[in-house]
């Protein structure tokens, strides 16, 4: 199967791209080219104010790249992640069977957007935005969502037939993310936080919740400012760690608990990474977090912006090793069952083959 894979290179989508490339290397029946859409404007795009808008810029880059690839020869199928990059490729999608992948719909993002500083536009702008997105969604041969939340939104908010929507989480590389093999001698319970935007991911709430929990030590992986550490809180801040870097993997393996009490989020990839590392998970009941964090089973969900509630569940995990072990085992089982990146990307490749074959079957006999 000759295929093109077009992917945004923002936030967790970078790790997603790496996992897809590894899956391609291990799948000999897919001849795929990976096209990466850099977030930072380059060349002529960097000097045009209107093209600072990511939706417009990503869409133009994706359409140009796909058209360029098609001039080299036909494709059986294409894959575009996310729908932001697909908005201006409707013509291509009508010519080449295309799977559009997304972590969240615009409606999903609107629901949690306040934490990102996002605001809805006026009625006319929102109507136009919905129409442009619906046009791209309906042009796709199939759609892949990272969560049930996004799948339900495609169906209810954009009129996409349920038969064309498939929930396939991005997954993690289980060869790299796995529980640590060395027993811990440290009496302190290590809590790990990973989030680029410390404030939006609930970092300040986590610091406040840890006050008075003297048996805990916090590792923070972030690219933003942390601010003052409260007195009595043991905290180590790690900067400059790339997704999947050896030091980051080591932090996952030596952690006892993973916490990301986001004030607004859709479905952060770090939850699946922590689950694959065999950790109990603590998160907030926002977006699709509950699809990875099964409250009371492999972790706890707390309200966003509620340090007192967060402190209660952290105290339970800190004081009860058996509970941590049991919840960590549930996380690991969930990761192996639902978040194996290699298995999930192969499901995507098979879906692409399916839509390619369906397109051939529906062609007039003379066009085959």
Instruction: Give mean pLDDT, residues 316-322.
Output: 97
The burial class, CB within 10 Å (0-12 / 13-18 / 19+), for 341 is buried
pLDDT for res 294 = 97
For the cut 90, the answer to whether the pLDDT of residue 270 exceeds it is: yes
- Residue from 340, 339, 173, 184 nearest 257 by CA: 184
Does the pLDDT value for residue 296 go beyond 70? yes
In angstroms, the CA 26 to CA 17 distance is 15
- The contacts found for 235-239 with CB under 8 angstroms, 24 or more apart, are 235/207, 235/210
Stretch 101-116: mean pLDDT: 84
Tell me the mean pLDDT in the region 317-325.
97
Instruction: Please give the Cα distance from 140 to 135 (Å, whole number).
Output: 9
Tens digits of per-residue pLDDT, 109-127? 888 767 677 677 788 888 8
Question: pTM for this one?
Answer: 0.90
pLDDT 10s digits, 149-161: 999 999 999 999 9
Backbone angles phi, psi at 170, to 5 degrees: -65, -30
Q: What is the pLDDT of residue 275?
A: 98
End-to-end CA distance of the chain: 16
Residues 6+ away with beta carbon under 8 Å from 141: 77, 93, 97, 98, 99, 164, 355, 358, 359
72-86 pLDDT, tens digit per residue, is 999 999 999 999 999
Residues 6+ apart with CB under 8 A from 55: 84, 87
């Amino acid at each position: 199967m000759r295929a093109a894979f077009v992917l945004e290179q923002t936030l967790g989508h970078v790790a997603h791209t790496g996992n897809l490339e590894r899956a391609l290397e291990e799948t000999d029946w897919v001849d795929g080219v990976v096209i990466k859409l850099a977030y930072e404007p380059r060349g002529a795009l960097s000097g045009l104010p209107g093209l600072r808008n990511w939706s417009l810029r990503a869409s133009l880059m994706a359409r140009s790249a796909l058209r360029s690839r098609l001039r080299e020869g036909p494709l059986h199928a294409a894959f575009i992640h996310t729908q932001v990059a697909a908005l201006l490729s409707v013509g291509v999608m009508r010519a080449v069977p295309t799977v559009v992948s997304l972590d969240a719909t615009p409606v999903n993002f609107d629901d949690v957007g306040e934490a990102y500083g996002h605001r809805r536009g006026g009625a006319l702008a929102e109507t136009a935005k919905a129409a442009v997105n619906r046009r791209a969604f309906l042009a796709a041969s199939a759609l892949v969502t990272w969560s049930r939340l996004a799948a339900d939104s495609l169906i209810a908010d954009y009129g996409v037939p349920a038969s064309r929507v498939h929930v396939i989480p991005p997954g993690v590389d289980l060869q790299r993310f796995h529980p640590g093999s060395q027993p811990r001698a440290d009496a302190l319970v290590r809590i790990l936080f990973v989030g680029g935007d410390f404030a939006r991911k609930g970092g300040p709430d986590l610091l406040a919740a840890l006050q008075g929990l003297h048996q805990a030590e916090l590792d923070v992986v972030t690219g933003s400012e942390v601010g003052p550490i409260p007195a009595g809180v043991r905290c180590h801040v790690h900067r400059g760690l790339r997704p999947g870097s050896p030091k980051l993997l080591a932090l996952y393996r030596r952690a006892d608990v993973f916490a990301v009490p986001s004030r607004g989020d859709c479905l952060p990839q770090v939850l699946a990474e922590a689950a694959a590392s065999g950790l109990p998970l603590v998160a907030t009941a926002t977006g699709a977090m509950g699809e990875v964090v099964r409250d009371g089973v492999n972790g706890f969900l707390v309200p966003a912006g509620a340090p007192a509630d967060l402190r209660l569940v952290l105290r339970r995990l800190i004081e009860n090793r058996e509970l941590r072990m049991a919840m960590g085992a549930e996380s690991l089982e969930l990761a192996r069952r639902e978040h194996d990146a290699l298995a999930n990307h192969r499901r995507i490749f098979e879906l692409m083959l399916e839509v390619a074959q369906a397109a051939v079957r529906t062609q007039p006999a003379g066009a085959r």
